Amino acid sequence: MTDVLPPASHAGVKNRLAITLGHYSSAGAKLENQDFHGALQPEGADLAAKGIVLCLADGISTSALGATAAETAVKTFLSDYYCTSPAWSVRTSAERVIAATNSWMHAQNRRVLGPVPSDSERERGLVCTFSALILKSRSAHVFHIGDAQVARISGQSVEPLTELHRVDLGGGESYLGRAMGVNRAVEIDYRQVPLVPGDLFMLSTDGVHEYLSARMIVDIIEAAATLDVAARIIAATAQAGGSGDNLTVQLVRIESLPDGGIEDLVGAETSLPPASVLAEGQGFEGYTILRQIHSGSRSHVYLACDDASGAEVALKILSTELAEDPAALSSLLLEEWILRRLDHPNLLRAATHYRARRFAFSVSQYVAGQSLHAWMLDHPMPDLATVREVVKQLASGLQALHRREMVHRDIRPHNVLLDRDGRAIIIDFGSVQVAGLDELAQRPLEAAFAGTIQYSAPELYLGYPATRQSDLYSLGVVAYQMLTGHLPYGPRVAAAGTRAAQRKLTYTPVMHYNPDVPDWMDAAIRKAVNLDPARRYGELSEFVVDLTKPNASLAPAGLMPLFQRGSVRAWKIVSGILAAALLASLLTRPDVAGPSPTPEQEIIP
Amino acid sequence: MSYLAPSEFVTKLVDAGESKILMSTKDTLIRAYMAGATLALAAAFAVTINVQTGQPLAGAVLFPVGFCILYLLGYDLLTGVFVLAPLAVWDKRPGCTWNGVLRNWGLVFVGNFAGALTTAVMMAVYFTYGFSTDPSEVGQKLAGIGVARTLGYEQYGAAGWLTIFVRGMLCNWMVSTGVVGAQVSTSVSGKVIAMWMPIMLFFYMTFEHSIVNMFLFPTALMMGGAFTLGDYFWWNEVPTVLGNLVGGVTFTGLMLYSTHIRTSPKRQAAGLKVAA
């Protein structure tokens, strides 16, 4: 983690996620303990971004490898979960890790047992149940496969948050319906529940919860001095109640919760005072301001020189109006947090160096170049290859964002820089929506409407959240505008705030403004900017490919009405010639051209 | 009270201009209608004060309340959009064209006129007990204003027309400065103070304001002012609108845009370092 934690004096006053743990595991009546459990309670940025993990696994008793399977599942989960991107949601992170562990176990089993093992052979491999409880911000996330249990204990009741994946054969016989390592893909139950301080959760294997009533569990916990003691007594009571299985219990009590905001992540920086407008030559926080790059009603961006390293950086501060706005401040600080997690040639990079700060601002790499907006004004009719290249690069940058479960939400020509090598770089990340952070705090959608509104997808005006398809729409509009200088639905998409109003918007084919564009490229753009997000491309890469070569499945090529298809200029020329001919014929008419001599006049001298 | 840096509030003006051009017809008309009606009411208020106190300064000092009300409520005056809308086109905002600007101006003109006329009719009823008596003192004063500022100009011919045009220019120089004033501060009190000063100035100087006149002259006609509708349009409204347009665009819009958005590079004095 590259984040620098806030100074202790600041951190002390803030609420944080704190828990009390208790756990116990024993072989019980059996010889070997095939259960395995673990918990990890990280500090600092990991605590905010990924949360606290508790998990347990129960190795299948028919297999000699049951214990190994359980240990592998738990240890892998604890280490790999914290290696996933902090931008990912808890669900994505955990499910990816579980799926990977499952397929590794499955592959091991197949290697040993052959491609098509019988049911009895299958039961001898690496097979186990797996249940995890992840506490992040103000929510608990439950992941579950098999017949262990995660339960919430509130008052006198024990509420199971999971169901047993068990198939009953009758006569007391049953087998595990779902487990890790059995199939190539594993279906994982997921559930999210809100947390309140004082919440108590119990994770237990089937040897425990099947032999105890809710009443007994509650009484034991109430009577016990600590949760560790409670866990031990619960296990002992289950064994005394007739359990012949391994016994594992984990108890966790929520002592305090964080405020649930991005402050949990970027630390006390949100309480830093805003910087005032800077001047050229001014020294600021170890940087020297060289010149102003951008100045607007929302922010100011300066080219600055890092006094320590001599590197040129772009330094961004909030405008006077937004300086007091906590949401704007969060966006500014998050922008740098996001940059630090991205590494892609078409995305702006964070500045390499980080120092503690006295004012709130963000620093990034400086890219010398021209905004796409300015470039478009210089090149009103660019060649198709250039447009394709820019769109391809932007799509590539967006894909990198989307893989991290981020949605940009503000793709527009002002937010794209073309550097001196012709590379297109997405520069502004102030509106980016990050799945992993939305679990901390829902940020206002307003950010999506920052700046110009012509590139936001129409579904956003209906109040729907932004998706990857919204970014695709924006990219489609940028492509359309590069080719034509116009907007696909005219300037009034933002004014259409209802579905009915949106249905009245009509798409103008690219060829209407630029007859040089082939109709199959128009078909691709038309699909990318479809008003209905479900009818756009599923993937950005499909759009890029369809811009490069005709896609036969798209486009009623050649079926367009004549007046839409033809070049306006040709019709103007034809009309001009006809008008000229008409004028000529009028002027040469006998009654207009003046009296021509009549025979009588010729006779008269 | 926070004061915004010029580059910040001018960008906000451009943003405002963009949103005016892209606004739906319905919203444009409603906002223009209410702006016209509100400003007309403030004009009636100011004339009433002048008649009752006999002191024109008193009316001018208090007239800006109408302007402040309508700007705080987000309504649009023709004089304001004359300045705001072209900024978005100059800044090459996507979808902002001169066609869009003309459409906006046309709609706002219609809305303002309808609003001012509504107030005029209501005030006429008020001044005459529903057209059953002679106009009150204020009504007679209004009729007098109507004659003086149409036929009064007409007697000077082209020079009179030019005078109205120039008074219109001076008017919107000040009024649009009020529009800018609404953006230089982030607090309501700051906005009100910044709007108040130029509006007070224009009203006391009897500069010609197209929307105020949309109230004054129809009321004057209803109060029995001895001039025709044709006189009103040709010897007042038309030159006033044109003067407002030229004054607002040149003195305010173009000036702010060319210095605060298209800022020229600083001159470098030889041997001097730029001080922080």
Interface test with A, best of B7, B97, B98, B256 (most A CBs within 10 A): B7
A492, B24: Cβ pair inside 8 Å?
yes
Set of chain A residues whose Cβ sits within 8 Å of the Cβ of B22: 453, 491-492, 494-495
pLDDT of amino acid B239: 96
- More confident of the two residues A5 and B9: B9
A320, B15: Cβ pair inside 8 Å?
no
A474 pLDDT tier (thresholds 50, 70, 90):
very high
- More confident of the two residues A80 and B95: A80
Checking if the pLDDT of A284 tops 80, the result is yes
- A149 forms beta bridges with A204
For tokens 């299958």, name the residue. A122
Look at chain B and report how many structural domains it folds into.
Answer: 1
- More confident of the two residues B3 and A364: A364
pLDDT of amino acid A494: 77
Domain boundaries, chain A: 22-258, 264-365, 370-548, 569-605
Length of chain B in terms of residues written: 276
Checking if the pLDDT of A159 tops 80, the result is yes
Do A501 and A494 touch, CB atoms closer than 8 A? no
Across all residues in chain A, what is the average pLDDT?
84
CATH dotted code for A264-365: 3.30.200.20
Whether B266 maps to a domain, the answer reads: no
A280, B100: Cβ pair inside 8 Å?
no
Q: What is the ipTM score, two decimals?
A: 0.76
A268 pLDDT tier (thresholds 50, 70, 90):
low
pLDDT digits (tens, 9 = 90+) for B4-31: 888 888 888 998 999 899 888 999 999 9
A596 pLDDT tier (thresholds 50, 70, 90):
low
Q: State residue A140 phi and psi, 5-degree precision.
A: -110, 135
pLDDT of amino acid A594: 56
Query: Region A337-343: what's the mean pLDDT?
Result: 85
Q: Which helix (H) or strand (E) holds A152?
A: strand A149-154
Runs of H (alpha helix) within B128-187? 137-148, 151-154, 158-184
Structural domain including B160 reads 6-261
* Helix count and strand count (H, E) for chain B: 14, 0
pLDDT of amino acid A598: 52
A453, B22: Cβ pair inside 8 Å?
yes
A495, B22: Cβ pair inside 8 Å?
yes
pLDDT of amino acid A10: 40
B11, A282: Cβ pair inside 8 Å?
no
Nearest by CB: B22 against A279, A321, A491: A491
Whether B120 maps to a domain, the answer reads: yes
Residue in B207, B133, B247 with CA at minimum distance from that of residue B216: B207
B95, A297: Cβ pair inside 8 Å?
no
Do A311 and A305 touch, CB atoms closer than 8 A? yes
pLDDT of amino acid A371: 92
pLDDT of amino acid A461: 83
Least confident of A319-323, A443-447, B135-139, B245-249: A443-447
Distance from B4 to chain A by nearest Cα, in Å? Answer: 6
What span, in angstroms and rounded, lies between the C-alpha atoms of A284 and A144? 52
Checking if the pLDDT of A1 tops 50, the result is no
Highest mean pLDDT among A218-222, A352-356, A367-371, B106-110: B106-110
Residue in A206, A234, A197, A208 with CA at minimum distance from that of residue A219: A234
Residue in B142, B122, B202 with CA at minimum distance from that of residue B169: B202
In chain B, the residue whose alpha carbon lies closest to the alpha carbon of A277 is B5
Structure tokens at A68: 């190994």
- In 10 A of CB A533, how many CB atoms? 18
Exposure pattern of A149-183 as b/e (b: 16+ CB <10 Å)? bbbbbeeeebeebbebbeeeeeeeeeebebbbbbe
pLDDT of amino acid B271: 44
pLDDT of amino acid A450: 43
State the DSSP string of A419-470.
ETTS-EEE---TT-EEHHHHTT-PPPGGGGGSS--TTS-HHHHTTPPP-HHH
CATH code of the domain containing B27: 1.20.1080.10
Share of chain A above pLDDT 70, in %: 87
The angle that helices B25-53 and B210-222 make with each other, rounded to 10 degrees, is 60
Whether B272 maps to a domain, the answer reads: no
Checking if the pLDDT of B96 tops 70, the result is yes
Residue in A366, A375, A340, A384 with CA at minimum distance from that of residue A510: A384
Nearest by CB: A320 against B8, B94, B100: B8
What span, in angstroms and rounded, lies between the C-alpha atoms of A234 and A143? 23
Do A458 and A496 touch, CB atoms closer than 8 A? yes
Q: Which superfamily does A22-258 belong to?
A: PPM-type phosphatase domain (3.60.40.10)
What span, in angstroms and rounded, lies between the C-alpha atoms of A65 and A126? 5
Checking if the pLDDT of A600 tops 60, the result is no
Whether B246 maps to a domain, the answer reads: yes
Set of chain B residues whose Cβ sits within 8 Å of the Cβ of A495: 22-24, 27
Whether B133 maps to a domain, the answer reads: yes
Structure tokens at A39: 């918990």
pLDDT digits (tens, 9 = 90+) for A22-38: 999 999 888 889 999 99
pLDDT digits (tens, 9 = 90+) for A169-224: 777 677 788 899 888 889 999 998 888 888 999 999 998 988 988 899 999 999 99
- The number of CA neighbours under 13 Å toward the Cβ of A214 is 11
pLDDT of amino acid A384: 92
pLDDT digits (tens, 9 = 90+) for A416-460: 999 989 899 999 888 888 887 766 655 554 544 444 678 888 888
- More confident of the two residues A137 and A120: A137
Three-state DSSP at A371 gives strand
Least confident of A121-130, A302-311, B234-243: A121-130
Query: With left for phi above 0 and alpha for psi between -120 and 50, is residue A279 left, alpha or beta?
Result: beta
Q: State residue A254 phi and psi, 5-degree precision.
A: -85, 115
Structure tokens at B107: 């709609």
What span, in angstroms and rounded, lies between the C-alpha atoms of B20 and A44? 47
Checking if the pLDDT of B205 tops 90, the result is yes
Checking if the pLDDT of B135 tops 70, the result is yes
Three-state DSSP at A326 gives helix
Checking if the pLDDT of B237 tops 90, the result is yes
Nearest by CB: A319 against B8, B21, B276: B8
B44 pLDDT tier (thresholds 50, 70, 90):
very high
Set of chain A residues whose Cβ sits within 8 Å of the Cβ of B12: 297, 321
Question: Quick one: chain B helix, strand, coil %, rounded to 5?
Answer: 75, 0, 25
pLDDT of amino acid A134: 94
pLDDT of amino acid A569: 75
CA distance from start to end of chain A: 114
Set of chain B residues whose Cβ sits within 8 Å of the Cβ of A481: 94
pLDDT digits (tens, 9 = 90+) for B49-85: 999 999 999 999 999 999 999 999 999 999 999 999 9
Query: Region B125-135: what's the mean pLDDT?
Result: 91
Whether B267 maps to a domain, the answer reads: no
pLDDT of amino acid A565: 55
Least confident of A43-47, A135-139, A358-362, B139-143: A43-47
Query: Region B135-151: what's the mean pLDDT?
Result: 90
A492, B274: Cβ pair inside 8 Å?
no
What span, in angstroms and rounded, lies between the C-alpha atoms of A300 and B256? 18
pLDDT digits (tens, 9 = 90+) for A56-111: 999 988 788 889 999 999 999 999 999 888 778 888 889 999 999 999 998 888 88
Q: What is the CATH T-level fold of the domain A370-548, as seen in this structure?
A: Transferase(Phosphotransferase); domain 1 (1.10.510)
What span, in angstroms and rounded, lies between the C-alpha atoms of B10 and A319? 12
Runs of H (alpha helix) within A145-197? none
Cα dihedral sign for B64, B65, B71, B77? Answer: negative
